[in-house]
Structure 1
Amino acid sequence: MKLSIRGVTKSYAGRRGETSALSAIDLDASEGEFVSLVGPSGCGKSTLLHIAAGLEPATTGGVALDGEPVLGPGAELGLVFQQQTLFPWLSVRENVRFPLTLARSRARGLAAAPDRQAARVEGLLRLVGLWDFRDSYPGELSGGMQQRAALARALVAQPEVLLMDEPFGALDAQTREQMQELLLHLIRRHRITTLFVTHDVDEALLLSDRVVVFSGRPGRVLASVHVPFPREARAPELKLDDAFLRLKRELLALLFGSARSEAQRDRWLSGLTSTQPEGGS
């Protein structure tokens, strides 16, 4: 399923007047594509993700899935946030199964026979390494295990688009790397269209097919950069590869303003591997 964002702006009214968070965002994620959004804090990346999820309205513009406008959250969208949103009174297994009990999932035929539900939940819990903890409660799990459960819950209703907002940002370095490896495995196995917000350029380059660089507030797209590394070749060791480090330096130059003029920034862009403007094929 293709995700299309067209002309999206977002403004907030405050005591000091109106604040613009996003400025005319045009962005696509093709079917099965993994797109990361990077940019300085406060540039509106998370706001854009919430708009894409139907959790927050845009001031102008809109979001569509295969041409159909997104008017609110739906079973076709899987959501994973930095702060896990598991229900503390439900076991891990019950948390993962919960989306299948919702009316919107039943409408898509995803809440079929209980044995089929149970088989799907078990398969996902085994996939994320939590089957042995299926009867534990969220408070009994580490942060990384909670995020594994949240990821399984996001996938259980077979979403066609996965929206992830800094899902590993609160984890320690070792657990974060383990979660990145797990996500790499999952995106190889399930080619779900994914929009992923992160502050970590290494993470964006390791996971993504394309990295979109945002400016400071109000957020706008500075560059859309194709990542040349094939999915099957991606592993944590890739971060030490010369080509990876070269692309990282170029992205950091854009991100932190090392390119001091528009002309200089354009020269950076012309040197990026397979860079193309938003909306290109």
Structure 2
Amino acid sequence: MSILNETYELEGGVLIPKIALGTWQISTPQAVHPTEFALKNGYIHIDTAHGYANAKGIREGIKASRVKREDIFITSKVRGESKTYNEAMSDIHDQLEDLDTDYLDLMLIHCPTPWRFFNHKPTRPHFYKENIEVWRAMSEAKEQGLIRTLGVSNFNVDDLEHLIEATGVKPAVNQIRFSIGHTQPEIVAFCQENGILVEAYSSLGTGSLLKNEDIQKIADKYNKTVAQVAYRYPVQKGMVILPKSVHDKYILENADIDFEIEAEDMAFLDSLDL
């Protein structure tokens, strides 16, 4: 079985594929072909967000692929700037309309703060109460059958703790920046201890890892590319990955990671501080 068909189980028995086509920084016109090509070549998970403003392109790509909606897992996100019940509910319905779908498989709070405030410093502004209102909207949408499961993105440990304490519900996933040399151990440890699946984005370090000589040596050992090693690394740690490309060659290569990085090589990659 291809890794594209491998899944993790979330709450309620929802199965989430380990690999999603990432669509960040892909415009609506650009999104059509990659979506169609990926779905025709085995991808079954598409990751988007209201803030990406490309849902209509993804919709057209899905239609062109002729893959049935029920055979696709679609993740989207409420905007970081949406911090009220009404704003969150509007984002959800916008995505349903723009994607032309009756439901979303996974909906995330894209950021615990409006983006202009976001960082991982303890002194940054917190929006605990506002996130509870966003979660309330998402939960109601789930009860209405519009969303199958709920999660968050870019949440620090304290953001997670406050949301869990206030709602009594653990998010199914936390989508965070995670790559070789940037592993956010405190957040990852909290998620793993609390049964929250980590989704890793920017696994190439926004491109900075591609010319790394240390990773290149590991890639040569396995006859793989640096990108394939960089994507395999979080998968081997039990995470979902979101490789993004608009090029057919790389869409295929990014999913060709059915290999195992040996323990000593994983330890070496763990040791890199990039």
Give the TM-score of the pair, scaled to structure 2. Answer: 0.39
**Bigger RCO (CA 8 Å, 6+ sep):** 1
Greater per-residue helix proportion: 2
Greater per-residue strand proportion: 1
Give the TM-score of the pair, scaled to structure 1. Answer: 0.38
